[in-house]
Structure 1
Amino acid sequence: MAGFLVREAPRGIVRDAIYEIVVAQLRGRDEMTSKTIDLKDFFSDVDVHLGAGQLDDAVTLLTYAFGAFWRGVFEVDPLFLFSQREKLTELLDRELEAAPGPGRRAGLLNAYARLELLPSCSGDLVDHLNAVKRWDAMLDNAAAAPLFPIDEYCDFLGTMLKSLGDDKELLRLSDRADELLSERAGKAAAGRKSMDRAQTLLEQGKILSGIKELHKAKAKWFSGEGLHDALDVLLLLSEQYRGLGLAYAAKYYAMAARAIALQEPSKNLNWVLASAIFDIVEADSCAGNAFTCLQLFPILIADHVQHDNRPFDLEQHPRLQDAIGQLAALLGVLRLRDPDTRAALDASISEWPHYLRDWLLTNADNPDGFWQMESPETGWTSMQGAFLDRPFGDLGKSRLVNWEASGIRWHCRFENTYQVTAVAEQLIAEFQLIAAALADKDLGIAVSDVNVEITVSADHSKISVLCVEPSAGEFCVVLPASDHGPEQIAEVGAAFGTILYGCSVLADNELMKGFDVAALEASFVARPYAELYRNLMPEDTFAAQLRAENRPLDSERQFRSSAECFLPWFSGPGPNYDEERAVTDIGLRYSRLIPGVRHTLTNLVSNQSSYQRLLRLREEGLQDWEILSIVSNIAMNARLSERGSQSSKEWKAHAQTMMERPESPAEALDSGSFTDELFSTYRHVYHGAFLNSWQLRYPECARPAAIEKFLVKRYRLRDLDVEHVNIFQWDYGIGHADH
């Protein structure tokens, strides 16, 4: 390239050579200082070379220069860099105003957007949203510019995501760019971009965002010519859902992949069949469905032998070893804890090929198996750490399926028959998929337990929810006897929303804003779950009578999974929260409430028993304003109760009057009026009032302790305070005023 740096060469070629030399120096030797003269030469006539590509090169080279300066490999006066940034800004503004068509505008806007990522002066905090605005305008113009390199732009966004992670604005731009790429290069090409982004996000641990990108890739490939890639996505989705503790969602996607591959024998999809059955068995295994795993084991072996290119090389198949080892261990544990059930299961596999049956049972009865060495307590603890639900939970007259997502612990019970199990598992899978799709939205969920009875009725044509006892988290979902498909997905969403409403502090209309079509679309793939289930598990294999006559492992003992693979509870500031307002509200509570109980507070502080009660609240972490609010509520209720029965309107009017009128010494309440029971009751009453102050509601399914946790974690109930009079006579030290 140095050979082009001669006076006789055209200036355009010289500038191109400078660009390549400077970049090569930085990439190859991680140094740019020696090329300072060349760099300044390049920018000396940047205002003459105004092609979109030339301006783009100028922005790129300046970006390299900034990066090298920040890393200490380019010794240059930063004012030079800032001046070039300013010069390029002026040039781009001028050229955009004069741009004759969408093609040139799109190219200039792309360069301008990247320029927005560079600081304009020392101390300037770059806001990438300025670049996003330029890129939005760029895409508007690129839609009318057939030659715009949209493929390269999609790749650039992928690189940006590697640095910024699951930035919502970049992902939105990616969707827009994919639409344009799909129009010009086909849906398969756009699907590959979504897949690349998904891989990037998954590698960064951004699982939920990665799943969303996988769903986008799935949609593009299924509607285009990308069957192999689409099935790869289904299996990857199954793996991700299993990693989030959503076993039935994982099973659904794996069953769908297997079913599609079986329908396309000419497509060379052996790899899908060999992998999908493992995903199905692993999903059932982690869900505690050990008997189902036992029933599927011959299918697993058959698919493995038929479709894997080296089926008998066990060292190359750790998943096969794990499947055999885990099933054998569970059968071994069952022999120790429930020999009658173990004998029944042994009898159920008597018709298996003897080599397969003997292989499994010999491993299960191995006297050196680790389950033989563990104490019952240690073994139970180990199982709670390894499984999402109770092992052999698929035995018994009724099934109890437990799972957890986003702070809600679901307990779903249904009749353990062939007909009901298929559709009940489908509903659970759909609920899990919706929960995952909504997990990145703040739905104001307070940690709750919900108990859902799932029934099937031939008299029902639609999915319906009965709120049996919302205050106890009791619901009943009634399913029609026929399979439900994508046309009923809105009904599934409504059922999920009804239960979710019982766990959320949001009003109905606010909660519904969190639902979108994508949340429901993810809950259906290819065919209904129940249909896929029956194709995989014929009725005679299901063995309904054997299931009903036996029971889950240690069914009387509580099983609480400690496997750390749940969708996390949404954290961070709660809905509508504003810290400035929170601090203002605290100050108002002191100024408004103290006068109304001033003399009552003196009585409380003067009495040793009641003072100790207050002190215990403080030691729990309650701030003075919260304790004051509880005291004020107790006092107000005591005074209002003296007035006898009155309407709600009268009650509110009297309460307002009491709050506004200072307490006289004669009105002071005795300390004996403030019992432990009253403090406990009005502590939670106050939480309801606190929710109401933020335009939130008290969810029916949430227990008082869960609401308190919600307020502490998301509304800083125990963190914030303001300087105030030491109303409780604590020894605070610095930071609080005295009486």
Structure 2
Amino acid sequence: MTDITSLGDYVRFQLASLNVKNKHHTFEDLCHQFARLAISPNFLPATGPVSAGGDQGRDSETFDAAVSNVPQIATTWSFSDGRRAVLACSLEKKPKAKIESDVNSICKTGVKPESIYFFSNQDIPVAARHSLQTWCSNTHGVHLEILDVNALAEQLTRIELFWIAQKFLNIPSEMYPRSATGEDEKYSHQRNKWIVEKVRPVSFGDFMDVKYGIRHATFTQDAKVDIPDWIGVLRSFIGQGMPDDLARRSQYEICVAALRGQNDLTSHTSIVNEYFSKIDVLDSSQQIGDAVVLLSYCSTALVLREFSFDPNQLHIWTKKLIHLIENLLKDSPGAHTKCELLQDRAYAATLPFQRGTTPTIDWDSPFKWWDRLVREIRHAPLFALESFANLLTELVPVIGDDPRFSPLTDRVNALLEGRSRGFLAAEKCRDRAIAFVESDRPVRAIRELHGAKIKWFAEETIQGTVLSMLLLSRLYADLGLMWAAKYYALAAAFLVHKHSGDQVKCLLPKIFIQLANVCYRGGEWLNFIDLLPLVGAAQYQFRSSPDDLERHQDFESVIMHALILKAVGERFGHDGVKTYLPTVLEKWPLPDGLNDLILDPPTDTLDWVMKCEDDLVWARIHTDLNGQPFSDAGAERKYEWRALGICWEVSCENSVDTIVIVEGLVSCLQIILADMADVELNLLPTKVAIQAKVSAIGKFEIKELDCNDAMKWSINLPLQGSSEDFGSYANGLASAIVAGCSLLRDQEIMKIFESSFKNGLAGKTFVVRPYHELLREFASKEHEAIRRSCTRLDTPSLDTCLHEANALAWRTGPGPGYSKKRSLKFIKNRYSRALIPVRLTLSRLRTSEEFKSFVVELRHQGYLDWHILLLICNAAINFRLPVPTGEGEDTLARNQEATMEFMGNEETAEAIEIPESAIIGESLHMKLDFQLAIVAKTWGLQLKSRTPDFKALKRVMVERYAYFIDDVEHQPLFD
């Protein structure tokens, strides 16, 4: 970089050197571009030959321009009064004779112009210039303007014209003086990387960096000198080996920069031709939108004479593009795509060469398409409504007085207001979520993030929505709810994949890495392997400097996980590592070095896996995971986790058609568990085992299976059915399972779920698309046979793999309805009432040594006197009362009535004697369990299962209802 004076001297030197290099045509082109930008865009390509030189001691002198304010390059230059001008140029070292000769020739040939502009690369003295001007005016009546090497050099150092010197004199942009205030830091970093250091761009992420650079240079006055260099960088994306989409985007950016930054699209005519030669194969709304915008730029530039091009070709392209858009609209696209196509069609209706080579615009057509667009927008939250509103604002000078304009903008404003009302609330939800994360309250953070996600679900805030989904995925994973985490990572991937925004696309590496990490932590190590090619493709396509692992530490973590997976598999002889990993990595689009690192790592890599004792290896693995390694291998698939005091297990066939459906139910169940984590459900700390089956023909069914040490269900899920049905039934099944584990009464648990769904639970279990549809995008059947043939690792106790997060721990403390006062009242009543029908029996039992031992043992187990008294009383009822016959409510009522009558009558000597075996018999544990259930019922607890888990119930009663603690003073019964 140098100062402006030194730069002028260098430009002057380069201009003077054109004679030596025999660059006559180069000088002609330079002069033509200068005249077109600094004098009038109406100049056709240079018309004069080349020659002649002087000085009068003046340091600078202005020249007449065809219009005022020439430096305002963005305005339109033309001769408003119809004057004609001619440009001539010469490299002659004695220019006086050449000027006179050319002027005579110009004035005697054709229509005589009003002005002649003569350019020379020689130093012409001021006196000589004035003499020639006087001669030309007196002889021909024509104004002559002479620009010698000094004038040209000075003008070419103007920032808006410097690109001409760069292009035709090969002057590097680094020579242009930079602003004393300094450049934008981000721009300076990108400029150094891509222009100064000449790093070769290869990925979409690199393209985004370069796009930022050229956009900044195009629309920032001090940076315009860099436009030619940025165009050179973008040309790297146009050629062999580069994706077509990147090539098209680069062509688009080059054209925009050339036109908006240099007012010179003509120099890039070949790129324009190549770009529009592929109109017929455009297949995305983003590509079509870019094509409409660029065609509008080209058409307007031609009308303003800033682009020398065939208007008939623009007419042909316009017709093709409109035909393509209308055909796509006939194919009944989704709401979002339909709105984008309608906007493109309305924009295309403003193209001036629709009807032929004479530019015209019929504004009835755009208004017609805008009306259709506004009617559809409410169904498309991801449509860029704010951008559309901004476009209408830009059109105010053109159509602002049209009577249809205000009603249109009023409707758009109403739609904008409806959207924006939720944005501020979403920001507050996000802020609260971050505060809850920082205070280690993930469940509350999840609740707030769901609020932000829903309120942000619009095009204007789509990045916030995606980032909320990613944070939700991370929080669910940290809670051990791996399939809830997987759902939100899948949804984020789908949303970004379908979105056309470049900035949003750059989130794909982060999303796929999150998805891979969820699979790794959940023990789905074969699925993790399957995702490696996708992660690699995203890393190398959408990130700048993808090989810089220090910069992209999340990608480095994926590589490390792959190394651990391979080392563990080899250490413990897992067949999946030997066959599956190499098969999948053949598709991993990574440099050979990284591929070799994973398939054949250095011998000292991960010594802790290969050299430590088995127990130490598993201890470290289990600390990092929340699932059994290679749990997705084998013929049967098991989903296991812990939450709210319950061990959850869902098993099914390990086939793609089955797991995509079953995982949808699992994710739904996990989301509900997190949503209910801070709600009092009074859950049994039991095990839930679900046997899931998917049938090609069938319906949603749930059946409870008998089991005394767990809650078991058999579930049938249909393979076919609408997404709405699946979501509704999945919520219903998951809710029924959770309710079955609760000790609350049916009406109480129903109110809780009604409140949760009213507060948006259904919107949490469904996001973007149903789980099974999203998973099908990633779950290939290609390697299904290999997966089923692989074995699961024979690990130590699986329990060490499953971690229950503190935020999802089983609820302790007093249970619903419990109070010390109420408990003591119940116990006092039990002592007084239960003694009546067994008073004599109790006197007799106190003399029995066997009974005394029995009492000591029960007390050792924690049972109190009132437990033992109830045990004796219940034995008496069962022994003395006749067994009720019949079924139904009448039988139950008669049995309860007989029991109450028995309890109110004092035991007599004539009563049938109760043998000790009726109390101390082998079925003691069943009697104690039955008694436990009776006591639980007095607290309003309801056992939903036919075969309850009494061990879990006992824990609830002991820890939450003081079953072994509460007692009242009473007379000795057994001492």
After TM superposition, the score normalised by the length of structure 2 is 0.52
**Mapped pair 1:552 → 2:789:** no
Letter of the aligned partner of 1:574 in structure 2?
G
Q: Name the residue aligned to 1:377.
A: 615
Provide the rounded CA distance (Å) in 1 between the counterparts of 2:418 and 2:555.
43
Provide the rounded CA distance (Å) in 1 between the counterparts of 2:973 and 2:515.
63
**Equivalent pair of 1:636/1:658 in contact (CA under 8 Å):** yes
Equivalent residue in structure 1 for 2:817, among 567, 571, 576: 576
Superposed displacement of residue 675, structure 1: 1.9
**Mapped pair 1:690 → 2:935:** yes
User: Cα 1:481–1:368, aligned 2, differ >3 Å: closer, same or farther?
Assistant: closer
The aligned runs of 1:111-190 (5 Å cut-off) are 186-190=421-425
Identity between Structure 1 and Structure 2 (%) = 27
User: Cα 1:671–1:456, aligned 2, differ >3 Å: closer, same or farther?
Assistant: closer
**Mapped pair 1:463 → 2:707:** no
Superposed displacement of residue 356, structure 1: 3.7
Letter of the aligned partner of 2:963 in structure 1?
L
Q: Name the residue aligned to 2:733.
A: 495
Q: Name the residue aligned to 1:203.
A: 438
Provide the rounded CA distance (Å) in 2 between the counterparts of 1:328 and 1:351.
16
SS at match of 2:534: helix
Superposed displacement of residue 399, structure 1: 0.6
**Mapped pair 1:626 → 2:867:** yes
Provide the rounded CA distance (Å) in 1 between the counterparts of 2:426 and 2:540.
32
Provide the rounded CA distance (Å) in 2 between the counterparts of 1:425 and 1:364.
37
The aligned runs of 1:573-612 (5 Å cut-off) are 573-612=814-853
Letter of the aligned partner of 1:370 in structure 2?
W
**Equivalent pair of 1:235/1:254 in contact (CA under 8 Å):** yes
Q: Name the residue aligned to 1:521.
A: 763
Higher mean C-alpha deviation, range 225-234 or range 304-313 = 304-313
User: Cα 1:476–1:184, aligned 2, differ >3 Å: closer, same or farther?
Assistant: closer
Letter of the aligned partner of 1:401 in structure 2?
Y
SS at match of 1:719: coil
Superposed displacement of residue 253, structure 1: 0.6
Provide the rounded CA distance (Å) in 1 between the counterparts of 2:417 and 2:429.
11
Provide the rounded CA distance (Å) in 1 between the counterparts of 2:633 and 2:762.
31
**Mapped pair 1:297 → 2:545:** no
Alpha-carbon displacement from aligned partner over 1:563-591 (angstroms, at most 9, x marks no partner) = 24272223333233344322211111111
User: Cα 1:273–1:466, aligned 2, differ >3 Å: closer, same or farther?
Assistant: same
Provide the rounded CA distance (Å) in 1 between the counterparts of 2:711 and 2:452.
37
User: Cα 1:604–1:412, aligned 2, differ >3 Å: closer, same or farther?
Assistant: same
Higher mean C-alpha deviation, range 210-219 or range 560-569 = 560-569
Superposed displacement of residue 381, structure 1: 4.1
Provide the rounded CA distance (Å) in 2 between the counterparts of 1:337 and 1:494.
42
User: Cα 1:720–1:342, aligned 2, differ >3 Å: closer, same or farther?
Assistant: same
Provide the rounded CA distance (Å) in 2 between the counterparts of 1:283 and 1:568.
21
**Equivalent pair of 1:407/1:447 in contact (CA under 8 Å):** yes
Provide the rounded CA distance (Å) in 2 between the counterparts of 1:186 and 1:282.
36
Q: Name the residue aligned to 1:485.
A: 723
Equivalent residue in structure 1 for 2:781, among 515, 539, 543: 539
The aligned runs of 1:52-131 (5 Å cut-off) are none
Superposed displacement of residue 215, structure 1: 0.8
Q: Name the residue aligned to 1:635.
A: 876
**Mapped pair 1:699 → 2:941:** no
Q: Name the residue aligned to 1:613.
A: 854
**Mapped pair 1:308 → 2:308:** no
Provide the rounded CA distance (Å) in 1 between the counterparts of 2:664 and 2:446.
20
Structure holding more helix per residue: 1
**Mapped pair 1:433 → 2:671:** yes
Provide the rounded CA distance (Å) in 2 between the counterparts of 1:331 and 1:294.
10
User: Cα 1:657–1:394, aligned 2, differ >3 Å: closer, same or farther?
Assistant: same
The aligned runs of 1:267-306 (5 Å cut-off) are 267-306=502-541
**Equivalent pair of 1:261/1:273 in contact (CA under 8 Å):** yes
SS at match of 2:835: helix
Structure 1 unaligned runs (5+)?
1-180, 730-739
Provide the rounded CA distance (Å) in 2 between the counterparts of 1:610 and 1:182.
80
Superposed displacement of residue 545, structure 1: 0.6
Higher mean C-alpha deviation, range 303-312 or range 201-210 = 303-312
Alpha-carbon displacement from aligned partner over 1:465-524 (angstroms, at most 9, x marks no partner) = 233447663323222223653454221121113222332223333221111322222001
Superposed displacement of residue 191, structure 1: 0.8
Superposed displacement of residue 676, structure 1: 5.5
User: Cα 1:563–1:365, aligned 2, differ >3 Å: closer, same or farther?
Assistant: farther
Give the superposed CA RMSD: 2.9
User: Cα 1:604–1:366, aligned 2, differ >3 Å: closer, same or farther?
Assistant: farther
Provide the rounded CA distance (Å) in 1 between the counterparts of 2:827 and 2:797.
46
Provide the rounded CA distance (Å) in 2 between the counterparts of 1:297 and 1:366.
23
Provide the rounded CA distance (Å) in 2 between the counterparts of 1:573 and 1:486.
40
Superposed displacement of residue 250, structure 1: 0.4
Provide the rounded CA distance (Å) in 2 between the counterparts of 1:726 and 1:441.
42
Q: Name the residue aligned to 2:964.
A: 718
Q: Name the residue aligned to 2:919.
A: 674
Superposed displacement of residue 557, structure 1: 6.8
User: Cα 1:721–1:715, aligned 2, differ >3 Å: closer, same or farther?
Assistant: same
Q: Name the residue aligned to 1:5.
A: none
Provide the rounded CA distance (Å) in 2 between the counterparts of 1:322 and 1:429.
25
Q: Name the residue aligned to 2:896.
A: 652
Higher mean C-alpha deviation, range 328-337 or range 253-262 = 328-337
Provide the rounded CA distance (Å) in 2 between the counterparts of 1:295 and 1:428.
21
Q: Which has the greater radius of gyration?
A: 2
User: Cα 1:523–1:347, aligned 2, differ >3 Å: closer, same or farther?
Assistant: same
SS at match of 1:536: coil
Provide the rounded CA distance (Å) in 1 between the counterparts of 2:814 and 2:417.
38
Q: Name the residue aligned to 1:50.
A: none
Alpha-carbon displacement from aligned partner over 1:25-82 (angstroms, at most 9, x marks no partner) = xxxxxxxxxxxxxxxxxxxxxxxxxxxxxxxxxxxxxxxxxxxxxxxxxxxxxxxxxx
**Equivalent pair of 1:386/1:563 in contact (CA under 8 Å):** no
Q: Name the residue aligned to 1:394.
A: 632
Superposed displacement of residue 722, structure 1: 1.7
Superposed displacement of residue 300, structure 1: 1.6
Superposed displacement of residue 201, structure 1: 2.0
SS at match of 2:874: helix
User: Cα 1:582–1:310, aligned 2, differ >3 Å: closer, same or farther?
Assistant: farther
Q: Name the residue aligned to 1:663.
A: 907
User: Cα 1:650–1:714, aligned 2, differ >3 Å: closer, same or farther?
Assistant: same
Letter of the aligned partner of 2:791 in structure 1?
R
Letter of the aligned partner of 1:692 in structure 2?
K
Alpha-carbon displacement from aligned partner over 1:275-318 (angstroms, at most 9, x marks no partner) = 11121111111211001101111222222233334533333444
Alpha-carbon displacement from aligned partner over 1:516-565 (angstroms, at most 9, x marks no partner) = 3222220011112222222234432xx10101111111179755534242
Letter of the aligned partner of 2:596 in structure 1?
D
Superposed displacement of residue 710, structure 1: 1.1
Equivalent residue in structure 1 for 2:656, among 418, 443, 446: 418
Provide the rounded CA distance (Å) in 1 between the counterparts of 2:926 and 2:836.
23
Provide the rounded CA distance (Å) in 2 between the counterparts of 1:339 and 1:502.
39
Q: Name the residue aligned to 2:955.
A: 709
Provide the rounded CA distance (Å) in 1 between the counterparts of 2:445 and 2:622.
28
Provide the rounded CA distance (Å) in 2 between the counterparts of 1:314 and 1:224.
32
Provide the rounded CA distance (Å) in 2 between the counterparts of 1:606 and 1:620.
22
Superposed displacement of residue 645, structure 1: 6.7
Provide the rounded CA distance (Å) in 2 between the counterparts of 1:367 and 1:184.
53
Provide the rounded CA distance (Å) in 1 between the counterparts of 2:570 and 2:763.
44
**Equivalent pair of 1:396/1:550 in contact (CA under 8 Å):** yes
